[in-house]
Structure 1
Amino acid sequence: MDPVTGFPVVGMVGGGQLSRMTQQAAIAHGQSLRVLAVSPSDPAALVTPNVTIGQHTDLDALRAFAASVDVMTFDHEHVPTEHLRTLVSEGFAVHPGPEALIHAQDKLVMRNRLAEMDVPVPAYAEVKTVSDVTQFGEKHGWPVVLKAARGGYDGRGVWMVPSSGSELVAELLEAGTSLLVEERVDMKRELAAVVARSPFGQGAAWPTVQTVQSNGICVEVLAPAPDLSEELADEAQDLALRIASALGVVGVLAVELFETASGLVVNELAMRPHNSGHWSIEGAVTSQFEQHLRAVLDYPLGSTDLVAPVVVMANVLGARSTPDMGADERLHHLFARYKDVHVHYYGKAERPGRKIGHVTVLGTNLAEVRQRARFAADWLSTAAWPDGYDVHGGK
């Protein structure tokens, strides 16, 4: 408990943009957020007054950090499971706990558990030898999707393998990479269901959203998912809440989904605030960051209702070549053109393809809102308007 504020202290392992935005949510409620960051220049460390510098792989650093807070949670899933089990055995509050988090850390563990629950997942198999992939491809069709069981994100650790891809499989196995292979899902689009669950078991779900990917990176989120039947939207929410309850998740859970001709298929899980929920900061009554804090502190959860008929979030990615125009000037010109765009910069250096921020736009017409969000994100990335707009004189 913070002796100055009288509120509990939440500790977040990881100093990335998720911790940064959680800090912003904590301020409004007077809560104290402490961050375990690798570097003083990490995004959260730049805006959070109470920062501990240390490695998330160091048990002693984790133990000292856990002892300084009332509950510990995460900005990422890369904390060793055995360290978290040790902390829980020593009486520290860790949310989500290691027995839940392992399902977001290890894709094979996740696939096995969801299959046991009769949750729809792609056909998959563990890979121990090159022939495992060959046999799987011959049974389920080529190409197949090869995944590292641990550590992949934003398209990393995922490979589309044709029938001639045995050399890649052999190289990864030789390097000691734990692998699984999955069928390539014939999908219509990608969706996400983001929910939260408290230790008491209360659950809350935001509207099901559509996510748009480019080169394995999420570039856009549409809330609610356009033209999605009420039946499928409800099914996605119910599925995510069922997974959260069965796995004992405490905090935010994002369930990435494929929409197929025959229904929904679960792709990935994330047990933390997620890119597919950033729109909720301005677009929902309760943001995913506030809700995550409520959940790990076992406060009653907030409303997840939309505050506008249409909300679009677009990620700002580092351009192939950093523009000559500085970020501050780009922001100035963006605000001059659009008065209704919400901007979030993460305090990260620009480099090609890196998520350096996001924008959110609310409205009533999907096409118009989507265009403004896309134009704004492109401008902040490249300093060029997609429609050729003249920043000094309009059209």
Structure 2
Amino acid sequence: MDRPLPAPGGFPIVGIVGGGQLARMCAGPAVELGITLSVLAESTQAAAAFAIPSAPVGAADDLEAVRAFARDCDVVTFDHEQVPQDVLAALVAEGVTVHPSPEALVHAQDKLVMRNRLSQMGIPCPAWAQVDDVAALRAFGEAHGWPVVLKTPRGGYDGKGVRVVRTAEDAADWFAHGEPLLAEESVDFVRELAVLVTRSPSGQASVWPIVHTVQTDGICTSVVAPAADLDEELAGELAATGLRIAGELGVTGVMAVEVFELAAGDGAAYVVNELAMRPHNSGHWTQDGSVTSQFEQHLRAVLDLPLGAVTPRSPWTVMTNVLGGDPERHGQLYPTYKHLMARDPALRIHLYGKSVRPGRKIGHVNTYGTDLAEVTARGRHAADYLQGVIDE
């Protein structure tokens, strides 16, 4: 079915541009709320297309496809940030309700815009500069020390679009494209944290407990909720910072603020790394660990419904990402269920409907309980079994 059919009772149609796993995971909460979802999917094989009946095919940068899709929706939101600003502007000009707005979303689309605005707000950030050539990068490195973290302002995720360089010449190939780059000092941090907030058009806001995100080779492999041994004063400051950013940027929906926690005595206790304005990997634990998941909360926010409680359901919840293994040996995931469900009846498995490729995020598992070490071990076992790292 390409055209969405509204549910009886006056419930709205929410359109999501992008048919990835984030849109897919909104399907359950939407059904429970009585809301109709429609997704503009990149292909018939997109993750959300398997779960949401209304899934017309179209690219996020195809203005006419997005326009036609939006005509059937009461509000439009996004599975990812890669929707061009001219497309967003055209929707707004035609009276489409778009959340988050183009003015807010640009801060998650362009890292240079984000860095400039956060610095103006006085939010702690790494030392940074826009660099347009090798000479500018060399000057930045000499001023702030090597190595330097170099980023493409747009399009990077999961470690893509990020390079650690030890000399300016290491980035010569990137400068050959003629686009400005973002140079940042290399931060010696203790751990990575994430602040997940939600804000509605009427200004209501909520924030989940601060979490610890564990990265491996630039990919988030697990999330611990709440972050263990986090100073209460710092936790409060981080929550206030996330809410302030959401308010001053006019964000609607879920936003993740990725943070580096610094060692005591380094001056600032943290610096902000990046922003994401959508349901985020750092919030997948909320599906089973919070009274209201980030996916339901996002739907509530874009419809300006009262936000749900974000109280944790358990002392500890750990989200462990499932990465793809060898598709020939471990491409069939369903047969793994019998072992995992029998071994751990409390395990919560969430797969994305994606084909298996080595290193690709194909799902996650949530575990919860009162003993963090035990909860962590259960999640690691399940993810490794699904990937084919272990066979028992």
The TM-score range, normalised by the shorter chain, is over 0.9
> 2:328 and 2:350 mapped to 1: Cα distance?
18
What CA deviation, in whole Å up to 9, does each residue of 1:67-121 have, x standing for no partner? 1100000000000012101211221100000000000000000000000000001
- 8 Å Cα contact 2:132/2:179 also seen in 1: no
* Structure 1 length-normalised TM: 0.95
**Alignment partner of 1:9 is 2:40:** no
Report the secondary structure of 1:156's partner residue. coil
Amino acid at match of 1:236: L
> 2:78 and 2:180 mapped to 1: Cα distance?
23
Task: Structure 1: give runs of 5+ residues left out of the alignment.
Answer: 390-395
- 8 Å Cα contact 2:327/2:356 also seen in 1: no
Aligned residue for 1:300?
A: 306
- 8 Å Cα contact 2:7/2:36 also seen in 1: no
Q: 1:332 to 1:178 in 2, by over 3 A?
A: farther
The Cα of 1:339 is off from its aligned counterpart by: 1.1
Report the secondary structure of 1:69's partner residue. coil
What CA deviation, in whole Å up to 9, does each residue of 1:269-325 have, x standing for no partner? 000000000000010000000000000000000100100000000000012565357
Aligned residue for 1:234?
A: 236
Aligned residue for 2:159?
A: 155
> 2:91 and 2:343 mapped to 1: Cα distance?
51
> 1:376 and 1:176 mapped to 2: Cα distance?
45
Aligned residue for 2:111?
A: 107
Amino acid at match of 2:38: R
The Cα of 1:326 is off from its aligned counterpart by: 2.7
**Alignment partner of 1:129 is 2:133:** yes
Report the secondary structure of 2:31's partner residue. helix
Q: 1:155 to 1:320 in 2, by over 3 A?
A: farther
Report the secondary structure of 1:116's partner residue. helix
The Cα of 1:338 is off from its aligned counterpart by: 1.1
After superposing on structure 2, the runs of 4+ consecutive aligned residues of structure 1 that deviate more than 4 Å are none
> 1:179 and 1:264 mapped to 2: Cα distance?
23
Backbone CA RMSD of aligned residues: 1.3
> 1:57 and 1:369 mapped to 2: Cα distance?
42
Q: 1:206 to 1:137 in 2, by over 3 A?
A: same
Alignment equivalent of 1:260, drawn from 262, 272, 275: 262
* Structure 2 length-normalised TM: 0.96
The Cα of 1:5 is off from its aligned counterpart by: 4.4
**Alignment partner of 1:372 is 2:378:** yes
Amino acid at match of 2:176: E
Task: Structure 2: give runs of 5+ residues left out of the alignment.
Answer: none
What are the equivalent positions in structure 2 for 1:30-45 lying under 5 Å apart? Answer: 30-45=34-49
The Cα of 1:333 is off from its aligned counterpart by: 1.1
- 8 Å Cα contact 1:313/1:373 also seen in 2: yes
Alignment equivalent of 1:49, drawn from 47, 53, 73: 53
Aligned residue for 1:180?
A: 182
> 1:334 and 1:113 mapped to 2: Cα distance?
46
Of 168-177 and 281-290, the range deviating more from structure 2: 168-177
Report the secondary structure of 2:270's partner residue. strand
Alignment equivalent of 1:97, drawn from 91, 98, 101: 101
Of 283-292 and 375-384, the range deviating more from structure 2: 375-384
Of 34-43 and 85-94, the range deviating more from structure 2: 85-94
> 1:304 and 1:70 mapped to 2: Cα distance?
26
Amino acid at match of 1:374: R
Alignment equivalent of 1:120, drawn from 114, 117, 124: 124
Amino acid at match of 1:72: V
What CA deviation, in whole Å up to 9, does each residue of 1:151-210 have, x standing for no partner? 0000000000002x41x4221121234311000011000000000000000000000000
Alignment equivalent of 1:169, drawn from 161, 166, 171: 171
Aligned residue for 2:366?
A: 360
Q: 1:27 to 1:368 in 2, by over 3 A?
A: same
Report the secondary structure of 2:37's partner residue. strand
Q: 1:320 to 1:327 in 2, by over 3 A?
A: closer
What CA deviation, in whole Å up to 9, does each residue of 1:131-154 have, x standing for no partner? 111111111110000000000000
Amino acid at match of 1:204: S
> 1:6 and 1:200 mapped to 2: Cα distance?
21
Aligned residue for 1:71?
A: 75
Aligned residue for 1:393?
A: none
The alignment of Structure 1 onto Structure 2 pairs a total of residues equal to 384
Alignment equivalent of 1:20, drawn from 8, 21, 24: 24
Aligned residue for 1:392?
A: none
The Cα of 1:384 is off from its aligned counterpart by: 1.1
